[in-house]
Amino acid sequence: MHPLLFEIGPVAIRSYGVFVAVGFFTAFSLLYSEAKRKNCYPQKILDLELVILVFGLLGARALHVLVNFDFYAKNIPEIFLIWRGG
């Protein structure tokens, strides 16, 4: 598997990110369709999926910063530059 799929200008599209996104959207669509099938508040499921996505990304970034604390303690503004990886 190639780590870098392609680039659009300065933006690099990496295979790991693409497959994580495909996994999230597949799981979310299956959960939504199952909620509709069982008449189980599909709009609330969509809201929950958004909350899961946002807090999952924030938690992943927080863990990355904690694991690499020595670097981020010296480079505090880098904490917020999520497009640089991590």
pTM given for the model: 0.73
Helix (H) or strand (E) holding 54: helix 42-67
Q: Are 45 and 31 in contact (CB under 8 A)?
A: yes
Residue numbers of the domain that contains 39 = 4-84
Q: What are 19-74's pLDDT values in tens digits?
A: 999 999 999 999 999 999 998 888 888 899 999 999 999 999 999 999 999 999 99
pLDDT at 82: 84
Question: Domain total for the chain?
Answer: 1
CA separation for the pair 12, 40 (Å, rounded):
39
